[in-house]
Amino acid sequence: MQFRTLIADRQDIDAVRHAAMQLAIRCGFSERASERLDDTVASAAACLLSRPGDRGELLIRPLREEVSGLAAPRIEVLALERYAPDEGAGLALLAPLAEAFTLHCTPGRGHIARMVVPPSERFSPVAADIAVGAICVPRAQEVTRCQPWHIEFMPPGGFNLTLLHGLGHGPDAHQLTTAAHRAAGACGAATPAIIAERVRSALGSNLHEDVALGVATLDTQGDHLCFAGGGGIRALIDTPDTERYVQPSASPNGVTGTEMQWPAGSLLVLYCGDLDEDARLPDRETLATLHPAIAAALLYRDFMAVDGEGTVVVCRHEAAARTVSSTTSAAQDVRLEEN
C-alpha cells in the first residue's frame, strides 16, 4: 500500500494527514507514534506548500519488508519537490521530526527527503543485508491496498523479488496480487522461471496479455542474481566493478532474463508502467550515497509524468547487515547529498 498526494493547497494537507492516520491505525502504531507521524506528515506538506517552484508531493508507505508476520512496521514518508529552486534550507528543516532522515538535492529539480517513523519507541527492524526502496504510484489521491511488488526472505541470505503490472489497483487486483505473492513465497529457493510459472498458475485466467511479470532471485551470500521478466518489466543492474547493465522489456508474450554476479554495493532496479524507456540513474559515485528509496523517487520524479502510474523497486546489496536504533538521533542520520 502506498498513498500519494500532490500538495497544491491547504486541503491537500488535511487529506494527507487523514490518510497517514488511517495507515497508522492499520499498522498498529502507538498513540505517541501516531502523533509523531502526524507531525511529520503535516510539517512536510506545509513545507512543500511554502516552497517556491512547481507543486510538490508526498508518498507514504509502511516498510513491511523490515518485519515478519503481523509485527507493526515503520512508516516511510517521501517528500518530493518538482522544479524548485535550490535556495533556502527547505526540506532540511524537517530533520528533527523523524527517526531517520535523508535529503538529496538535484540542482534545478529540487529536493527529495526521506523520513521514517517507527510504530513505537521499542521498535527494532529485522536485520538484513539488503536495502529496499519502492514507489508504487496509482493515480493522484487514490489509496490502494494493492502492492504489485513483493520481496520474500529465504534464509540464510536469499531474497525473491516479484513484480506484477497490469492488474489494476482495486479490491480484485488486491486479491490477485496477494495470491500471486503467496505462490511466489511458497517456491523457496527456486529459479525465476519456476517462480514465474507458479505465479502464472495462481493468476489463472486473469493472466491476460496486458499483465507483465518480473522475478528476480538475489543471493547475498553467494553474490549472485538471476532475473526473468515478461511484458513491460524492465531491469537495470549496477555493480561496482562492471558496466551498468540494462535489460530491455520483452514482447507482451515473450520472456527475457539475465544471470550475473551481484556483490556487495550492487543495485537492482525493476520498473514498469509510464516511466520513460530511457530512464537512467545518477552516476555510480552519487548512487552509492543514496538510500534505495531516494533512487526510486528520482526515477519516478524525473522520468514519469505527474499524472502517470507505475512501479519502481530498487534493491541494494549492503556490505553488512544493519539495524536501525530508535534511540539514534535524527541529526546523526542526516545526510545532505547533491547530484
- Delineate the domains of the chain, giving CATH numbers in brackets: 3-123+325-338 (3.30.565.10), 128-322 (3.60.40.10)
Collect all residues with Cβ–Cβ distance below 8 Å to 308 and sequence separation of at least 6: 137, 273, 274, 275
Collect all residues with Cβ–Cβ distance below 8 Å to 286 and sequence separation of at least 6: 337, 339
Q: Residue 278's pLDDT is what?
A: 78
Over the range 125-157, which residues count as b (16 or more CB within 10 Å of their CB) and which as e?
beebbbbbbbbbbbeeeeebebbbbbbbebeeb
d(CA 254, CA 257): 10
d(CA 326, CA 40): 16
Q: Is 338 exposed, middle or buried (0-12, 13-18, 19+ CB in 10 A)?
A: exposed
Cell numbers standing for residue 330? 535524527
Q: Residue 312's pLDDT is what?
A: 94
Q: How many CA atoms lie within 13 A of 274 on its CB side?
A: 14
Q: Does 171 sit behind a cis peptide bond, omega within 30 degrees of 0 on the bond before it? A: no
Cell numbers standing for residue 241? 566493478
DSSP β-ladder status, 158-165 and 149-154: antiparallel
pLDDT 10s per residue in the chain (339 long)?
788 888 988 999 999 999 999 999 999 999 999 999 999 999 999 988 887 666 789 999 999 888 877 788 999 999 998 766 665 567 888 888 888 899 998 877 888 999 999 999 887 766 678 899 999 887 555 555 578 899 988 877 889 999 998 887 677 888 888 899 999 988 888 899 899 899 989 988 877 777 889 999 999 999 999 998 877 888 899 998 888 888 766 655 556 778 999 999 999 999 988 888 778 888 888 888 899 999 999 999 989 877 778 899 999 998 654 333 333 333 333 333 344
- pTM equals 0.86
Helix (H, G, I), strand (E, B) or coil at 21: helix
